[in-house]
Structure 1
Amino acid sequence: MSGPVPRRLRRHPGAVVVGGWACLNAVLLGVLTAYGESELALLLWAGAFLVLVLACCAVLVSCSRGPLELTRYRVPSTGGAVVLLTACGLAVGGLMFVFGSWLVAVAGPLLLVAAVLALRRRSRGSV
């Protein structure tokens, strides 16, 4: 977008994300058309593009009717967050045996953040 960004889009960037995703799918639809893909593949991709455009419109409508989106998120350092992160890390680590060792790159940071939160909570004295 050249020029100033409309106020609604600055306050609610979700529509920009979905709209950008729809634009990328439109470009990919053009690439498929240029390479002579089958009609069925083009229809399926056009259907996905249409669903994204409808989702973008729905996000824009909900943004104009609802309150502002939250801009600051806080991660609670309670035991629940540690348990949830540990469970997700172990689940992804277990899936490593099915889908391959590349999932260590996902499970490792989850378990590391869980350990840091647990140690930080313990050092504060709130067990």
Structure 2
Amino acid sequence: MSVANKRAQARLKRQVRVRRKVRGTTGRPRLCIYRSAKHIYAQIIEDITGTTLVAASTVCKDVADGQKYTGNIEAAKAVGEAIAKKALEKNIKQVVFDRNGFLYHGRIQALADAAREAGLSF
């Protein structure tokens, strides 16, 4: 098994372990993060109905316009601010943070801090 495959398997194990405890309800939906090498994605999901309420990513033109490169901490901060702004417009103030098996540092932490500063509570 290659190193990349072992790393992916370890992330999936962490994802399952975290998802056992983290559930999004109507009053407090789940803020789910996905990070790739070039982009970062965030969406707020209500797990009871399985619907995505709000989504933002570096692929969206409104977030990626001012970014030179979309795979860095500055881009993650922009996504955090955008997801919080969209959530507050839909009257979502509290969420449950789901790091999706990724370690809480770097871009994940930057996105979470920017969302907190923009008004989300978790």
> How high is the TM-score relative to the length of structure 1?
0.23
Q: Which has the higher contact order (CA 8 A, sep 6+)?
A: 2
> How high is the TM-score relative to the length of structure 2?
0.24
Larger Rg: 1
Structure number with higher strand proportion: 2
